[in-house]
Amino acid sequence: MRSQKEIALDMRIIEALTELRLSGKAVEAAKYIIESEEVQAIQEYANTVSIMRLRYNDHGPVHMRTVALNGVVMLGLLRQVGIKTNLEKEECGTFEDSLIAILMAAFLHDIGMSVSRQDHELHSAYMAYPIIDTILQQVYTSDIQKRVTVRSLAVEGISGHMGNRVIHSLEAGLILVADGCDMTKGRARIPMAIAGSPRVGDIHQYSANSIEEVRISMGAEHPIRIEVAMSSEVGLFQIEEVLLGKIAASTAKNYIELYALVQNRDPKRYL
- CATH code linked to domain 4-269: 1.10.1300
Model's pTM, two decimal places? 0.93
Alpha-carbon distance of 261 to 215, in angstroms, equals 11
Question: pLDDT truncated to tens, each residue of the chain (271 aa)?
Answer: 899 999 999 999 999 999 999 999 999 999 999 999 999 999 999 999 999 998 888 899 999 999 999 999 999 999 999 999 999 999 999 999 999 999 999 999 999 999 999 999 999 999 999 999 999 999 999 999 999 999 999 999 999 999 999 999 999 999 999 999 998 875 555 555 555 555 555 556 667 788 999 999 999 999 999 999 999 999 999 999 999 999 999 999 999 999 999 988 999 999 9
Contact assessment for residue 228 and residue 243, using Cβ atoms and an 8 Å cutoff:
yes
Contact assessment for residue 47 and residue 60, using Cβ atoms and an 8 Å cutoff:
yes
CA atoms within 13 A on the CB side of 237: 15
Alpha-carbon distance of 206 to 186, in angstroms, equals 11
